Structure 1
Amino acid sequence: MLHPKRASARRTALLVLAAVLLAALLAGCGKKNEKQETGLPGAGQGKVIATYKGGEVTEGEFDKYTAFMEVSDPQTAMYLQIPQFKEQFVRQWALYKVLAGRASADQAKAADEDVKKFETDIGNALKTNADLKKTLDEKKLTVDEMKRIVKVLAAGNQIAKAKSDEFAKAVTDAEIKAEYDKVKSDYNIDTVRHVLVATTDLKTGKQLRTDEEALKRAKEVKDKLEKGGDWKTIAKEYSDDEGSKDNGGLYEKQQSKGWVTEFKNAANTQPIGVIGDPVKTQYGYHVMKVESREETPYDKLAQADKDQLKQTVVNAKVQDYLQAEDEKLDIKVTLPAEPSPSPSASPTASPSGSPAASPTATPSSSPTASATASK
């Protein structure tokens, strides 16, 4: 329960592209010729909304692309209401097309294999999920159009993956160590007791308490514990964390990076043996006591941890590469002016899918995954 959903913002803007390119592996067949670009759904239809060295994006093709993205990840619709993010999606699409046009014969062949899988998956999803077909009809998007868009995404992904592989071979141990030094406390091994007073039901999302009510209840828990109350008794009565309420709220000898940020920070900074003030996270309020904390030196890290740190280094290099490619294209976006959304409609994070953005990662949301998750 305390593990984050891993949707925190990284660099926003163009880095949305990095996350999608690196995590997608959806499928496609990027051929190195002009027919691929002119054959895109909606190409040449409507006004030109962006120009770049060697091409343009029209309203028609962008509408098809965003429709595809909204099917892939329904949250995309929210971000497209925000002008600054909508512009970034236009830039994404322009860069996708350019990268796809650079795909070699082998890269195109690899992408072709992925598109076959996509076609199979979307076909199976349509057979069992009426809501998916309804969504496609509402967005005026056909499976054939999706496949043609996927071709570009997959071919672009092949280019990004090739760069990732290139960078990975060149990463030094010094670079990995430097990355470790930035987040050294993430590798602490902590033993923590806590009582969670949730604001919403963790299974249904239904509100349980207002923020004020949860904080008041958490302070009541802290008071009882400070007066000598038994952790097992109080956790069983007050805690909404099903994973620990029956064992006195105990999380024993766990690597702190697996916890949500606020809980992790408290576990790594709160004085040992002291019951701290309630800590607020996305789940509610936590009353915590850190029982032990042990640092993990770099030379004692597990190989899996070093591999993850290496991947972080590689991801940053790929993101820098993509940003540089974007700048070389001299993309000029001319979207119609739109009123800014109200503050309440603004998201708190970048619309990137996964902060890891690893080229070997499994996509968290694809058209078929989204479909099978529906009713």
Structure 2
Amino acid sequence: MLHPKRALLRRAWFAALAAVLLSALLAGCGKKNEQESGLPGAGQGDVIATYDGGQVTQGEFDKYASFMELSDPTYSMYLQIPQFKEQLVRQFALYKALAGRATADQLKAADEDVKNFETSFNDAVKQDATLSDQVKQKNLTLDEMKQIVKAMSSGSQIANAKSGEFGKAVTDADIKAEYDKNKADYNIVTVRHILVATMDQSTGKELRSDEDALKRAKEVKAKLESGGDWNALAKEYSDDTGSKDKGGLYEKEEAKNWVAEFKDAANTQPVGKIGDPVQTQYGYHVIKVENREETPYDKLQQADKDALKQTIVDAKVQDYLQNEEKKLNIKVTLPAEPSASPSGSPSASPSASPSPSASPGASASAPASK
């Protein structure tokens, strides 16, 4: 099973874009004398959005959307939702504006990202020739993808520069205050668990119904409470490949490494007691907390302090960009959709882009192997 805090890797040829995508899909800002972005499809089709200093046409957005679908196939589904599609148009306009503000040095850095992307793409094609066909099916070329990467990277340089500025201002007191918000995340916990899964995470195929999974989990709990052996029962019942051959053991893990429901159980369940089955998106977990220790701030690992600092910086950058966004006066004029999906709309937040199903948000499934 996947480790909760380790996001599912996208296609190998998008590895060079990881930081670019995260930055470019925030919010954006721009100047009225925006530089030409050199995006494929620019000027083609109807104007679907305007903003101070620029516009978005259907042709260039289609190219961008196709690129995003290649980087994350779930975009195909979300683009059917009018609310999300409108938000993606806004994001596209925002990063275009950001790209238009890049300095000469920032453009040079973007050129390096393009080179890295091209190398990654060519290496991946050698391993999987179908990638070229997939790109053609999306009506894209390598040169067009490079143009999109250049614009995205150019825009991200603006956010990166602001991030560095905010980072220098963060104090140890700020980091301590951020830690105090979620102290329990840093508990060091040893647990045993048995997962009764409802879905095969590698194929998406249903393994058993929710009702059957819960029934099986309760059966496991009863056997454990009757003195059953964790090693034997984990091998027989658990669908967590990362722990089933270790008696379901996860030893001395930081609680924040686990999906929210599992983390809450690890932090609150009485030590030594086998709890009621805990449901996550992966199924039902039968959990026994064997040990739990708090981690005071002065004992935090430097990596944790660095992560806390980055959380503070990210929030400041987001606030800054959202404030700048208001100055753009973006107006989206997409053609009316025949119908909407009121229940499926994602958050309007620019950072709420879809993620692979195996890594929802910052957390994912069950606890897993390292």
TM-score band, normalised by shorter chain: 0.7 to 0.9
- 2:140 corresponds to which letter in structure 1? L
**Equivalences for 1:194-205 in 2 at 5 Å?**
194-205=193-204
Answering whether residue 66 of structure 2 is matched by residue 67 of structure 1, we say yes
**Does the 8 A contact of 2:34 with 2:101 survive in 1?**
no
Which deviates more, 224-233 or 347-356?
347-356
Name the structure 1 match of 2:4.
4
Residue 236 of structure 1: aligned partner? 235
Q: CA deviation at 1:6?
A: 5.8
Which range moved further: 48-57 or 108-117? Answer: 108-117
Give the residue type in structure 2 aligned to 1:351.
S
Match of 2:366 in 1: none
Aligned counterpart, 1:173: 172
The answer as to 2:97 corresponding to 1:113 is: no
* SS across alignment from 2:284: strand
1:251 aligns to 2:250 (yes or no): yes
Give the aligned length: 339
* Structure 1 match to 2:100: 101
Runs of 4+ in structure 1 deviating by more than 3 angstroms, as ranges, are: 5-8, 18-25, 32-35, 123-130, 201-206, 345-350, 352-356
Q: Distance in 2 between matches of 1:19 and 1:234?
A: 42
Counterparts of 1:80 and 1:186, CA distance in 2: 35
- 1:20 CA drift (Å): 5.6
1:350 matched to 2:349: no
Superposition deviation, residue 84 in structure 1: 1.3
Residue 64 and residue 319 in structure 1: after superposition, are their counterparts in 2 closer, same or farther (change >3 A)?
Answer: same
Residue 303 of structure 1 is matched in structure 2 by 302
- Contact in 1 for aligned 2:106/2:154 (Cα 8 Å): yes
Q: Does 2:337 correspond to 1:340? A: no
**Normalised by the size of structure 2, how large is the TM-score?**
0.84
Cα offset, 1:36, TM superposition:
2.3
- CA shift at 1:35, angstroms? 6.0
Partner of 1:81 in structure 2?
Answer: 80
Conserved in 1, the CA contact under 8 Å of 2:21 and 2:152? yes
Unaligned runs of 5+ in 2: 9-17, 26-31, 363-370
1-structure distance, mates of 2:19, 2:227:
48
Q: Could you tell me which amino acid in structure 1 is paired with residue 36 of structure 2?
A: Q
Q: Distance in 1 between matches of 2:155 and 2:258?
A: 33
Q: For 1:77 and 1:221, how far apart are their aligned partners in 2?
A: 40
Partner of 1:282: 281
CA distance in 1 between partners of 2:202 and 2:59 (Å): 40
8 Å CA contact 1:21–1:156 kept in 2: the answer is no
Deviation digits for residues 1-28 of structure 1 (CA, Å, limit 9, x no counterpart): 36226679xxxxxxxxx98644579xxx
1:277–1:80 CA distance, 2 compared to 1 (3 A)? same
Output the aligned Cα RMSD: 2.7
1:36 and 2:24 aligned: no
Look up the equivalent residue of 2:353 and give its one-letter code: P
1:220-263 deviation digits (Å, cap 9, x = unpaired) = 11112222323233223222223322332222221111111111
- The unaligned stretches of length 5 or more in structure 1 are 9-17, 26-31, 357-375
The alpha-carbon deviation at position 203 of structure 1 amounts to 4.4
What SS class does the counterpart of residue 275 from structure 2 fall into?
coil
Structure 1: distance between partners of 2:35 and 2:156: 19
1:115-158 deviations in whole A, cap 9, x for unaligned?
Answer: 12222333344455332222222222122221222211010011
Deviates more, 1:133-142 or 1:329-338: 133-142
Structure 2 contact 34–53 (Cα < 8 Å) conserved: no
Q: Is the 8 A contact 2:234 2:248 kept in 1?
A: yes
The structure-2 alpha-carbon separation of the partners of 1:2 and 1:124, relative to structure 1 and needing over 3 Å to count, comes to closer
Change (3 A) 1:2 1:255: farther
Give the match's secondary structure for 2:84: helix
Tell me the alpha carbon deviations over residues 83-140 of structure 1, each in whole angstroms, 9 at most, x when there is no partner.
1111111111111111111111111111112212222333344455332222222222
* CA–CA distance in structure 2, aligned partners of residues 149 and 134 of structure 1: 19
State the distance in 2 between where 1:33 and 1:82 align. 33
Cα gap change, 1:257/1:162 in structure 2, threshold over 3 Å: closer, same or farther? same
Distance 1:201 1:41, change over 3 A: closer
In the other structure, the counterpart of 2:12 is none
- Cα pair distance change 1:222/1:127, threshold 3 Å: closer
CA contact (8 A) 1:200 1:209 kept: yes
Secondary structure of the residue that 2:251 maps to in structure 1? strand
Give, in whole Å, the separation in 1 of the partners of 2:130 and 2:251: 44
CA deviations on 1:33-55 (whole Å, 9 max, x unpaired) are 76623x42211211111111111
Q: Which amino acid aligns with 2:267?
A: N
Matched residue SS, 2:36: helix
Structure 2 SS opposite 1:36? coil
Q: Deviations over 1:345-371 (max 9, x none)?
A: 667993255967xxxxxxxxxxxxxxx
